[in-house]
Amino acid sequence: MDNMEKIAKKTEDELRREKKQMEDDLHSESQARAKLADIVEMMAALKDAGDDDKKRDDAQQTIDESILECAIRLGWHQIGKPEDADKEFMLLLCTGGPAVRVRGELDQYNNPENVVIEHQDWFTLWQEFTGLTDVEEKALLNYACQFYFGE
């Protein structure tokens, strides 16, 4: 095989990998879109429950059962500042190929802020799902606020 054939073969392999990567990205992005729609629906059900204790309890139970894992970690901080100056949280919604999580920062009172939804497929890095509407952004933040991140 001469150099031109090797270059052509390498290019074909690279194109095949790039195509697979794009398919994986679309697959995980589709899963993130579905999970985001679920979150918007759950938050609407909680709001619509109003003063009906049964409906509110059912809506809260659905929210509580929608995650696989809830975790926090310390973030980067400046030397001399307390270690818990910046905390991050993560709510794992589903795993495997694809996986989806909600991630963000916690304020000084351990309340979520700067919330994003991320997705990934097998052997790919986490990617932020972009293009959220105002309704989706508010629902995502309200959803994250339903979980306890305190000590």
- What tens digit of pLDDT does each residue of 9-49 get? 667 666 566 555 555 456 789 999 999 999 999 999 999 99
Positive/negative CA dihedral, 144, 88, 133, 26? negative
Q: What letter does residue 108 receive in the DSSP assignment?
A: T
Instruction: Lowest mean pLDDT of 37-51, 64-78, 100-114, name the range.
Output: 64-78
Asked if residue 150 has pLDDT above 80, the reply is no
> Does 23 or 75 have the greater pLDDT score?
75
The pair of three-digit structure tokens given for residue 63, joined into one six-digit string = 């929210």
- The pLDDT assigned to 40 comes to 96
Residue 74's pLDDT is what?
78
Q: Give me the pLDDT at residue 1, please.
A: 59
C-beta separation of 80 from 89 below 8 A: no
Residues in Cβ contact with 38 at an 8 Å cutoff, skipping those fewer than 6 apart: 66
Of 28-32, 118-122, 138-142, which has the strongest mean pLDDT?
A: 138-142
Q: Which two tokens stand for residue 81?
A: 């500042």
Torsion angle (degrees, nearest 10) of CA 51, 41, 148, 129: -160
Q: Give the DSSP H/E element, type plus range, for residue 127.
A: strand 127-128
pLDDT on residue 86:
58
Give CA–CA dist 8/2, Å, rounded: 10
| In contact, 94 and 31? CB cutoff 8 Å | yes
